[in-house]
Amino acid sequence: MSETPLIELRGIERHFGSVIALAGVTVSIMPGECHCLLGDNGAGKSTFIKTMSGVYKPTRGEIFVEGKPVLFESPREAMAYGIATVYQDLAMIPLMSVTRNFWMGREPKKRFGPFSFFDFEKADRVAMEAMRSMGIQLREPSQAVGTLSGGERQTVAISRAVHFGAKVLILDEPTSALGVRQTSQVLATIDRVRKSGVGVVFITHNVRHAMAVGDRFTVLNRGKTLGTAKRGEISTEELQDLMAGGADLAELEGSLGGTV
């Protein structure tokens, strides 16, 4: 590919004391792609995306944002580069309204003399629009997030990230706790986001969810990349086998081509 990746991580290692959580992982995210990160429990997926979003500093390895080398000191700094993460359980506060959640930390203000107030008129309007563009029809913006379904909550969180300028959107297992209908809602949201040019990193255990929206698939195993495959180069069964621990790795070498 000739385009510069939105973000590229090369040879990332991360050690926790004697535990080597990541042992040299290389992944790049292109604009408008959905990059699926697969792997068994403990493979290092969460550790990897936390490195990507500035929570952890890599023990070794380099990070490039749009071709330039960077070092994230904090999640805030990563966010300033347009790297946004949606955590499944920490995304939303159920007792607060959709508008309050959507704008949390970045509330729009309007001034009255020396005082500044939360501009609810603008906040409600923009939040409703953002939801609608993701295909969610809200009853009212003052509705508590707790009354939304799990899929709708994910969508609110995703549209919030996109609205605030995410270029790379990281989703850590957004579908793992959802039913069939809500999962398809989230997958549809991922598809919309991708089409707007955002690079999506989609972490999942579920190969079928990955196959439904993924453009490229990277499988992690025990802190290492087993390889990255493009859509169409690999079948669901092959991906499943890879995830199961790369037992049949030799058999798959061919289909993964030179990307290993």
Partner 1 sequence: MGDASPTPQPAQAGQAVARDERVKDISRLRKMMIRPELGAITGTILVFVYFFLVASDTGMFGPEGIMNWSTVSAQFMILAVGACLLMIAGEFDLSIGSMIGFSGIIIALLSVSMGWPVWAAIIAAFVLSLMIGAANGYLVIKTGLPSFIVTLASLYILRGLTIFISITTTRKTIIGGVKEAAAGDWLAPVFGGKILTGLFSWLADVGVIAKFTAGTRAGQPVIDGVPMLMVWAIGLVIFGHILLTRTQFGNWIFAAGGDAQAARYVGVPVARVKILMFVFTAFTATVFATCQVMEFGSAAADRGLLKEFEAIISVVIGGALLTGGYGSVIGAALGALIFGVVQQGLFFAGVESSLFRVFLGVILLLAVVLNTYIRRLITGER
Number of residues near ligand ATP (by CB under 6 A): 11
> Both tokens of residue 252?
């798959």
90 in contact with ligand ATP (CB under 6 A): no
Give CA angle at 110 (106, 112), nearest 5°: 140
Kindly state the smallest distance separating residue 83's Cβ from ligand ATP, in Å. Answer: 17
- Report the site for partner 1 in 136-155 (rule: CB under 8 A): 139, 144, 146-147, 149
167 binds, options Mg ion, ligand ATP, partner 1, none, Cβ within 5 to 8 A by partner type: none
Of 43 and 134, the one with the shorter C-beta distance to ligand ATP is 43
Point out which residues pair with 37 in neighbouring strands. 203, 218
Q: Binding of partner 1 at residue 233 (CB under 8 A)? A: no
Burial 25-40 (b: 16+ CB within 10 A, else e): bebbbbbbbbbbbbbb
Element (DSSP H or E) covering residue 172: strand 168-172
Q: In what order do the strands lie in the sheet with 60-65?
A: 19-29, 7-16, 60-65, 68-70
Q: Which of 6, 33, 45, 224 binds ligand ATP (CB under 6 A)?
A: 45
Tell me which residue has tokens 């603008």.
122
Of 2 and 41, the one with the shorter C-beta distance to ligand ATP is: 41
Considering only residues 106-145, where is the footprint of ligand ATP by CB under 6 A? Answer: none
- 228's contact among Mg ion, ligand ATP, partner 1, none, with CB below 5 to 8 A by partner kind, is none
